[in-house]
Structure 1
C-alpha cells in the first residue's frame, strides 16, 4: 500500500511564515489587535490578571450559514473552515497533508482509503472524536441532496473498523478523492449532530477547529472564541477572532491603517503597494487558485450562439484588462485552470483573444450580424470588476454590441446568478482543493451542482473527458485529457478567463503567523499579535 505520513505537522504549517512575535499582554481597549482583561480577571487582585487578545478581520460580506455541506461562497466557506476540519488538508503550496488523520494509506488498486485518527482528538464541547463521527460526517455529506460540493466518487462503503480507523472503499478508482476530502465541505461533525437536529446544530455548531462561534449576526459581524480543546497544543494564539463586515474597500484600508482592524481579507489590488510599504501595514501572499472571469448564460438566445461568445472574446484584450485592474499583482489568464494547479495549460493554450478583425468576422457568422443589446451583471463596490466590465463594454461597442451595466448589491448578485437571471456576469472562480477536477468539473459539468458554473454550457465530449480524467491516474494520460478540455473550453468560450491575481491579505505589522492559502482562505491558529 502507498503510505503518507505527516509527523512534523507543526513545523510544516509554520514553514515560510514570519517568525512568531511575543504576545503582548498590555491591558487596553478590546479593538483590533489590542488586549483587554476579562471581567473576572479585571477584578482579580495583584498584577497577574490575564488578558484577552482579539484579531479583527475586515470582510466584505457577512456569514449567513455554517452548514459545511450546502455552502460554497467565500463569505461562508472561510468561516466554516475555522470551525470544522477534515481528515486531510493542504498547505500554502497546495500539498496534501494529514490533518485530523495522523496518517493515511491508499491501496495499490486505488479502491481502499484508510485513515488513522490522531490520539486525543476532541470536539470543542470536550467530547472525544472517534472514527464513528468521521463515518457519520462523510455519509451525511453523501446523502445531502443540496450538497454544494458533493462527493462524486463511486463510494461502496464508509466504515470504522475501530475507534481510530476510517475506511473508505470505492467501486471504481477516483483520482481526485484525496484532494476532495481536503475540502472544507468534508469537515468532521459529531455523530448524530450530538443529539440535535441538523438545523439546530448548525446554528451553534461543534467542531474540531481552532475556533468556536460566540456571537453571530447573519447580517453583520461574527465573533469566534478560541477552542480550548484544540488538538494543536498551545493554539490558537489569539483568544478571539472577529469577522467584521466592512463593505467599502477604502474604509477597510483606512481602518487597517488606524489599527481599528488587524487584517483585510480582500484588499483591492490597487492598494497593495501602499499597504506593503506602509509604516504599520504589510501583506502576506500565496500562489493563486483563483481566476476572475466573464461568464455567459448560454440559455440566453444571444450567448447560446458560440460565434457571439467568440466575437466578444476576440474583441477584448485580457492583457489590457489585467494591466488596468491588477497594478502588477496578477497574470492574464488564458485558461480556466490557474497556473498554480497541476495540468494547467496557461503556457501552451491558444486562446480566443484580442483580434478585432476576427471579432467582427465571428459576429458576422452569428445569428446577430448587425449586433444586439445585452446586460452585464456586476456586484457593486468592486472597483477592479467595474473597470473590467467597462473595458468589455468598450470592446463590444467596436463590433456593434451594446452592453449595459446592471450593478446590484452582493446579496442580490449572488441570488440572481444562481437563479440564472443574467446574460453576462463577472465573478471569481477558484479551486477548493488541489486538483484540476476542482475547477474543471465545477465549470464544465452540465449535470453538476452549478450547471457549469451557472452558464448551462454543455459539450458531450468535454463531459466524457472530464469523467475519464476523474478515474485516470495522475500522469501523461490525465494531462492530455485536461489539455483537450481546456482547449475546447477556450475555443467555445462559455466564459472568458481574465486574470489570476496574487492571493494577498493585508495585516498590521505587529501580526505574525498568518498562513495564507491558495484557495483564498487563511489559517489563524498560529497568529500572534505583539
Structure 2
C-alpha cells in the first residue's frame, strides 16, 4: 500500500461504498513548489458533502467534550504502522500517528506535521520544515531526528506499504528540518508520504521496546489509546498536546465492534452509536428518511472487484477469466447492489484518482455468446466447478456473489459461494487459499501508482493483490510510470497498462462505490476522507 496501496475495506477494509459527489484531485507528485496549505485552528479541510453537520434544532448548541462512539465491522488488532495494511488497523493507526504531509477530503496534498516542504527541480531532494512547538502525546518535543528514525524504520521493515522510492539519505539538517535525498526520481513519493504508514513516532520508541511501544503508542495524532481489546473495542482519549489548538473537541472516541451491517444500522437508530463506518447500501434510503440520522458521503479511491488466483488451475487460463468478464453484466450488478450510489467500472482506477482511463480503456462488455466462445478457447471448454470466497456479514458482497454465480452458470461454470467470518477470510487470501474472491482495491494516497503497484507488481508485498498475476509488459509500464514526471507521457503509460489489465482480467473491476457513513444528527464536523477514513478532531456533539 510501493505503496499500494490498494487497500482493502471490509474484507480488507470495511464497507461497501460512488458517485454522489465527484471529487477533483490535485496531486502534488513531482512538484517543485512549496506547499504551504495547512489546516488552521478553525479550518476543517472537508467539503460539505464530506462533513457531517446535521441538526434537529438550530438553537441546540454544540459543545466540546463527551464521548463519540463509532461502530466498525472489525476490531483493531495491531497499531504497528509499518506492518499493517487493512482498514480495521489503518484507520486506528492514523488517529495516533500523523505524517509530514497529508491529504484533505478532496485528495489534495497539504502540509501536516511539516509547516512547509520543498522539492528540488530534479526531483531528488525533499526538504521538510516541522511546525513550531510540535509535541508528542507524552509532551516531548518532536524533532527532525524523530522523523529520520521513523522513516528509516519504515525503510528497514518494508511491510505492506513499503517506501518504494530509492532513498539515498535521511538527514536531520537541524532540530526542525528533515532532508530526504533520492537516488533517482520517483514521482509518487510526495503523495505516498501522506500514507498513514509514514507517521512520525519518537526516536528509539521513546526508550522502550517495540512490543511495549505499540501496546501503548506515543504519536502526534489527536488521540491516545486509553483501553484496547484486540478482539473487541478500542477507546481513545484526547491528546492534550495535539498541535491543532483546542482540538480534538471530544474527550473520548470509542471504536465499537459491530460485525453485522444490520446490527450497526439498528444501533445507530437507537442512539447506541453516534456513527457507523460501513453503511449497507440498501439501507441508505431508509436512513435518509430519519430526522435523527444523516448520511455523509464522499467520492472514493475504491474499486470493488472480483479477484482471481492465477495459481489456480482454472483461473491461470486467461480465456476463463475473459469468459467470466464477458458473462457478467457489470451495469446490472451495479444497479442492483449500489442503489444508485455506484458507477459500473470499466478500468482499475476509480474516477477520483489521476490518470484513470475509464473513458479510454475498452473493457470486455456483457455478451453471453461471446463469453461461451471465449470459454471454448480455454482448457475447460465444457465448464468446471469452482469456489468464490467472501466475508460474511456484508449484504452487498453476498448479493454480488449471487450475481457472479448466476453469470458463471450461464456459460457452464458452477460457482460455489464460500462465506466465512472476516478474520478467516483475511487469513485465507493472505495464504492464497482461494480460487476467486470479492474484495475492493483502494488507494492510500491520491496517486495512480498507489493502486497500480499493489495490484500489478508480482514482486510486491501482495504479489499483485494476492492474485500472483505476472505480465512483463505490465511490470515494465508500472516502473516507467513511477519515474516519469506528471504529464501527458505518464498518462499514456497508464492507459496502456490499464488496457492490458482490461484484456487479461486478473481481476474484474465491478463498480466504483461512494464512501457513505451513517451519522446521528447530534454530530457536527465529522470529516470523511476519500480513502474511507474519518477525521474526528473536528467533531462536536450537540446538546
Pick the TM interval, shorter chain. Answer: over 0.9
Return the alpha-carbon distance in structure 2 between the equivalents of residues 506 and 14 of structure 1: 17
Counterpart in 1 of 2:482? 470
Structure 2 unpaired stretches of 5+: 1-31
Residue 77 (structure 1) aligned with residue 94 (structure 2): no
Residue 349 (structure 1) aligned with residue 361 (structure 2): yes
Residue 442 (structure 1) aligned with residue 454 (structure 2): yes
Query: Tell me, what secondary structure is at the counterpart of 1:61?
Result: coil
- Does the aligned pair in 1 maintain the 2:125–2:182 contact within 8 Å? yes
Residue 6 (structure 1) aligned with residue 31 (structure 2): no
Residue 389 (structure 1) aligned with residue 419 (structure 2): no
- Does the aligned pair in 2 maintain the 1:20–1:528 contact within 8 Å? no
- Does the aligned pair in 1 maintain the 2:526–2:539 contact within 8 Å? yes
- Does the aligned pair in 1 maintain the 2:54–2:522 contact within 8 Å? no
Counterpart in 2 of 1:365? 377
Query: Tell me, what secondary structure is at the counterpart of 1:243?
Result: strand
Query: Tell me, what secondary structure is at the counterpart of 1:153?
Result: coil
Higher relative contact order (CA closer than 8 Å, sequence separation 6+): 2
How many residue pairs align between the two structures? Answer: 504
Choose 412-421 or 338-347, whichever is displaced more. 338-347
Residues 59 and 70 (structure 1), Cα distance of their counterparts in 2 relative to 1, 3 Å cut: same
Residue 185 (structure 1) aligned with residue 216 (structure 2): no
- Does the aligned pair in 2 maintain the 1:117–1:165 contact within 8 Å? yes
Q: How does 1:72-221 map to 2 (within 5 A)?
A: 72-145=85-158, 147-221=159-233
Return the alpha-carbon distance in structure 2 between the equivalents of residues 4 and 193 of structure 1: 29
Q: CA deviation at 1:487?
A: 0.5
Superposed CA RMSD in Å reads 1.3
- Does the aligned pair in 2 maintain the 1:305–1:366 contact within 8 Å? yes
- Structure showing greater Rg: 1
Q: CA deviation at 1:239?
A: 0.3
Residue 511 (structure 1) aligned with residue 523 (structure 2): yes
Q: How does 1:58-73 map to 2 (within 5 A)?
A: 58-73=71-86
- Note the alpha carbon deviations across 1:201-260, whole angstroms, 9 max, x for none: 111100000000000000000000000000000000100000000111111111111111
Q: CA deviation at 1:353?
A: 2.7
Query: Tell me, what secondary structure is at the counterpart of 1:376?
Result: strand
- Does the aligned pair in 2 maintain the 1:293–1:497 contact within 8 Å? yes
- Does the aligned pair in 2 maintain the 1:84–1:189 contact within 8 Å? yes
Residues 251 and 79 (structure 1), Cα distance of their counterparts in 2 relative to 1, 3 Å cut: same
- Does the aligned pair in 1 maintain the 2:474–2:497 contact within 8 Å? yes
Q: CA deviation at 1:277?
A: 2.6
Return the alpha-carbon distance in structure 1 between the equivalents of residues 297 and 307 of structure 2: 27
- Does the aligned pair in 2 maintain the 1:221–1:243 contact within 8 Å? yes
Query: Tell me, what secondary structure is at the counterpart of 1:389?
Result: helix
Return the alpha-carbon distance in structure 1 between the equivalents of residues 157 and 330 of structure 2: 39
- Does the aligned pair in 2 maintain the 1:3–1:105 contact within 8 Å? yes
Query: Tell me, what secondary structure is at the counterpart of 1:377?
Result: strand
Q: CA deviation at 1:12?
A: 5.4
